Amino acid sequence: MNKKVKFLCHAAIIAALYVVLTFIAAALGLSSGAIQVRFSEALCILPYFTSAAVPGLTVGCLLANALTGSAMWDIVFGSIATLIGAVCAYMLRKYKWLVPLPSVLSNMAIIPPVLMFVYNAPESYPFLLATVGAGEVISIYGLGMLLLYALEKRRKIFEL
């Protein structure tokens, strides 16, 4: 099979998984509290395995945010945070324990100011920084690293 077609298929599958996992977390009420735990954010470790995760995660985040009714600013800047995190994670793929860090940091840097603007809450930065950070650490370092170790033995599925 053509490598470009495989790449697009891998990216599309990752995007679809991101959307479905976001809906599951939303249905369970985990993505709407102070500390948001999105199962989909665990997929942010996938750049460790494949570059197709970069567009897959970005498109998945964009679609998930749009389909779950997020504010336009959150849709745009959340997707940018995911893109930055995924690109940097791919660049750090040789350092397993650093792979989740860019996604955590990009979301912590970008999402709190967006939420402050969207919800007109200028004094909430320290709170939002802590809660976004906690949710990302739980989702990406907690669930994501479990996923990374589970998939490591099945690396072959990511070959193009």
Task: State the Cα–Cα distance between residues 131 and 81, nearest whole angstrom.
Answer: 16
pTM, two decimal places: 0.95
pLDDT of residue 31: 80
Kindly report the CATH number that applies to the domain delimited by 3-158: 1.10.1760
Give 10-residue mean pLDDT values along the chain (160 residues).
92 98 94 86 98 98 94 95 98 97 98 92 93 96 96 91
Structural domain spans, the chain: 3-158
Helix axes 3-27, 53-67, angle to 10 degrees: 40
H and E: helices and strands count for the chain? 6, 0
Four-residue CA torsion sign, 65, 127, 107, 121: positive
